[in-house]
Amino acid sequence: MRNIAAEPPISRTAGATSTHPQTASHRTQRRVQPLELSEWVEERLGRLSDRWLREIQSRYDRSTQGVNGLLEEFVDLLVRFLPAMLGPYRDEVEPLWVRGAELFGNVAARRGLAAGEVIEEFQILREAVIRLLYQEPPLDGRARISLREVLRLNRAIDRGVTHASVGHTDALFFSLFEGSGVPDVPPTAELKAEIQSQLDALREELREAIAPSLATRSLAVDEGR
């Protein structure tokens, strides 16, 4: 006769398969690396500059008189700083970013913009970046974006906003100091040539600052083939 009492108790968990999904805390979640976010921004430079320029022209079309061409160059150049501000050479690039933002603010004063308007113009860049991040997340959303990198990108734009305001204030101050109290609106041909020269210099300095990074990336691609 079978002695049930002598048999070991059957474990309720033995061989059982859990029907509960694995929690997020147990999963290994990959994060977007700084260089991956930098490359994501770089691949969308054209679209970012187009959005920024369209918004500026739609909101302040009256104020773009006399700087057509220069405004497009400003937008294109400043957007090109963003990938570098996320990369390993951001310390070398940041002073150039500050100079570019101050020059943008200086020219905004000569376009007849108020201080609040130049700040709002620069904030449009932040809006354009955030929209693209939601619409086309890096790596198709398969990895999370590090909060640290988002804050770094946000901090870079914040510095741009601050120094654009500084450049605007400086332009008004020097106009007052020189006696007119109002910057030339629109800028004179001589002033436009000077602004163009400064933009060209910033573009070249940016190219030189990120040259080591481009060389390293090119080497990595060659080794991967």
Tell me the per-residue pLDDT of 47-66, one tens digit each, with 9 for 90 and over: 999 999 999 888 765 555 55
Give the pLDDT score at 175: 74
Residue 23's pLDDT band (cuts 50, 70, 90): very low
Across the chain, the runs of DSSP E, i.e. the strands, are: 31-32, 144-145
Give the pLDDT score at 160: 95
Give the pLDDT score at 60: 66
85-137 pLDDT tens trace = 888 888 999 999 999 999 999 988 888 888 899 999 999 999 999 999 889 98
* Amino acid found at 74: F
If one counts every other C-beta atom within 10 angstroms of the C-beta of residue 162, the result is: 16
Please indicate whether residue 225 or residue 178 has the higher confidence score (pLDDT). Answer: 178
Give the pLDDT score at 10: 47
Q: Are 136 and 142 in contact (CB under 8 A)?
A: no
Q: How would you label 174-191 residue by residue, b for 16+ Cβ within 10 Å and e otherwise?
A: ebeeeeeeebeebbeeeb
Give the pLDDT score at 174: 78
pLDDT surpassing 60 at residue 28: no
Give the pLDDT score at 96: 96
Q: Are 124 and 130 in contact (CB under 8 A)?
A: no
CA distance 128 to 52: 7
Residue 191 has which token pair?
């002033």
CA distance 108 to 122: 11
110-119 pLDDT tens trace = 888 888 999 9
pLDDT surpassing 50 at residue 18: no
Give the pLDDT score at 101: 97
Give the pLDDT score at 29: 76
145-200 pLDDT tens trace = 878 888 888 999 999 999 999 999 998 887 776 655 556 666 778 888 899 999 99
Residue 213's pLDDT band (cuts 50, 70, 90): low
CA distance 128 to 166: 23
Phi-psi region of 139 (alpha: psi -120 to 50; beta: other; left: phi over 0): left
